[in-house]
Amino acid sequence: MNTASLTDPTYFINRELSLLAFNHRVLELAQDQSLPLLERLRFLCISSANLDEFFEVRVGSLRQQQALGLNQVGADGLEPSQLLDEIAVRAHVLVSQQYTVLNEVLIPALKQAGIYFIRRTQWNEAQREWLSDYFDHELMPLLNPLGLDPSHPFPKVINKSLNFIVELEGVDAFGREIDAAIVQAPRVLPRIIRLPEAIAPSCDSFVFLSSILHAFIGRLFPGMSVDGCHQFRITRNSNMYVDEEEIDDLLKAMKGELAQRNTGMALRLEVSDHCPQESVDFLQRHFHLKQQDVYRVSGPVNLNRLQTVLDLVDRPELRFRPFQQGNLPTLAPGKRDMFRLIRSGDVLLHQPFQSFQPVLDFVAQAARDPDVLAIKMTLYRTGKDSALVESLARAARAGKEVTVVVELRARFDEEANIALTSRLQEANAHVVYGVVGYKTHAKLCLVVRREQGQLMRYAHLGTGNYHAGTAKAYTDFSLFTCRPEMTEDMHRIFHMLTGLGHIRHLNCLLESPFHLHQSILRKIEREIAHAKAGKPAHIMAKMNALIEPQIITALYEASSAGVQVDLVVRGVCCLRPGIVGVSDNIRVRSVMGRFLEHPRVYYFKNSGAEELYCSSADWMPRNFFRRVEVAFPILDEGLRKRVYDEAFGLYLQDNTQAWILDAQGQYTRLTPQPNELPLAAQDVLMASLGGEDASFSGRLLDVAQPTTMH
């Protein structure tokens, strides 16, 4: 086949539209009656939060392109204006489905379970009296009504805040006719209020803040009558634009840019479905939005705020059953010597089925150990009050050489990373902000220790962030090793990050932006050559997103040459499988469940000399060309087989939490056939790796018996 024909735009799925399809799959989980009820509510909230970020980042970027007169076209051939029109159509469908799930599925199911959301029209006298008092004492002191007239222009509405447009009749204290006002709900106010059990149908009975404000908002306008009160919310462009080539201090510039995030270009208006068209038109004109940017909703304008219920309701039977993470074997009572453990052989963790604690122990032990001379680490996301950051600070205060590459531009974690940077600098650690123009996304920690008069290096490499919180919710692989070929490569990468010199040679790690892309292309070409020679050839990859056009084209070539390609892509996939003569041999599935699938794993059959890499990098342009990423091989044969089984063997058999992608770009959820037993990969991993006594033997195969390596 002519390679040029493989770049036909019809062979590519648009990135943004694929991302919306991912949010549809999240919403499907909210409707899955096999899942606990409160977890279904959580998935609804996640779909809403995801859509917020989609507008803030993806739609924001497209609108920015339009504003600058750019007309960038992706591999799928859609121009920004065409894409924005199609996004609007699909996003409206998604939002409508979200509120249908809330109002017609979840709220009735929650009521049946004794969890009530009591609407304003359903309040009895006792409830109205209590809520009236609540408004007077808890809400009204914090509210500032803003009448709209020439001396009181429309107030600044910050990103994703809750606001009300109030229709008024009458004159104010100065005799001026005021027909409209804006009331903004401060973010400190709870969006969901629990009613006292004595006046409620259950101890878990709630009222939306918007309902209370609707009922009593007239008290903010004495002497005037309120003809209507309607909630609205604006979503703004939250991309941060910092010209790194033109600034002297990235930290200072980031602090300044953060303040602008809440006031970027308006992208979407969400408004109550009962709001009169005249008021909607007024808001639409004020924010310079098109009709397609207006979303009328039947319920609270920010579904993500329903997450509060998950914290307020203590109903374990309505949640996922408690899960005990597996632990590494302890070498001595009450003490785990991580250095001794790593010297005995490479150690692999699969989080969250196994605990993240050994990673924290590794850094903490390095901080305490008098024989440790230096710690070098990359930090992308860590969370607040990170024990790991405290260990690094302790090591620096103890006089160890501590070098930390902090990515200040980790989206929506910029403020937290600025804070931890200051904390580390105060402890005299060397803090580097990475490389201008490139995000440092690799997950690396290198410890230098003096042993018997010689320097020994120990390393941790991961597919996920050094974040103890997300390590309980995201699936990721971690590797501990002291193999010289790997630690020497890491040493060279850290020198590149801090000294900005060239990497002339790496023993076994694959690194972007210089090597990873070409390395993957060469490995795909090698599989093609094997297939043409009649030798075993197989490509498998597990990742969050597959977007990069050259890689997709290479996979099409591999399929055309007879190479079997199996892809487990959680989110965005721009490749179309199953196109006759193009991608017949490619299968794509998305697996989603209790935990967020996050590892990146690449496998190449290589005529029996198998190669398997774990990585921080998805197959996206940004990961290949605009980030510092690392892919690391699993060299231990037993661990390589284990990663193969846990990343592919199980997930390619999942028939309960998997969706199959077809050539039209549609996803279909799998269900067990009459002759099949149900298999959920995450459930099997919880059973096989979880628990206090989890080992690294063949327990996984005893439970699932997945496909093994040949």
How far the first Cα of the chain sits from its last, in Å, is 30
β-partners of residue 183 are 145, 164
- Four-residue CA torsion sign, 259, 264, 267, 273: positive
Cβ-contact 404, 431 below 8 angstroms: yes
Which helix (H) or strand (E) segment holds residue 597: the answer is: strand 596-597
Are 528 and 558 a contacting pair, CB within 8 Å?
Answer: yes
| Cβ-proximal residues to 209 (8 Å cutoff; 6+ apart), any chain | 139, 162, 185, 189, 190, 191, 192, 193
Residue pair 479/587 in contact by the 8 Å Cβ criterion: no
Residue 241 assigned as binding residue: no
- Residue 411 among known ligand-binding residues: yes
**Catalytic site residue 460?**
no
- Radius of gyration, CA atoms only, the chain: 28
- Does 381 show up as a binding residue in the annotation? yes
Q: Is 77 helix (H, G, I), strand (E, B) or coil?
A: coil
Q: How far apart are CA 515 and CA 499, in angstroms?
A: 19
626 in a known ligand binding site: no
User: Is 570 annotated to bind ligand?
Assistant: yes
Separation of alpha carbons 87 and 240, rounded Å: 22
SS3 479: strand
Note the helical H segments in 266-356: 277-286, 307-312, 338-343
The continuous run of DSSP H or E covering 294 comes out as: strand 294-297
- Give the Cα separation of 20 and 665 in Å (integer): 12
Transcribe 514-541 into DSSP letters: TTHHHHHHHHHHHHHHHHHTT---EEEE
CA distance 168 to 179: 5
Task: For the chain, give the longest Cα–Cα distance.
Answer: 90
- Confirm if 374 and 402 have CB atoms less than 8 A apart: yes
Phi first, then psi: what are they for 600, rounded to 5°? -115, 125
Local structure of residue 632 (DSSP, 8 states): E
Q: What is the identity of the amino acid at 79? A: E
Reference 708, options 648, 625, 620, 637; nearest CA is 648
Question: How far apart (Å, rounded) are the C-alpha atoms in residues 96 and 297?
Answer: 7
User: Which two tokens mark 319?
Assistant: 């949640």
Of 586, 598, 499, which is closest to residue 544 (Cα–Cα)? 598
- Choose, from 214, 230, 441, 517, the residue flagged as catalytic: 441
Is 2 annotated in a binding site? The answer is: no
Query: Which residues are documented as binding site?
Result: 50, 381, 411, 474, 570, 598
Catalytic residues: 441
Query: Which residues are documented as binding site for Mg(2+)?
Result: 381, 411
Query: Which residues are documented as binding site for ATP?
Result: 50, 474, 570, 598
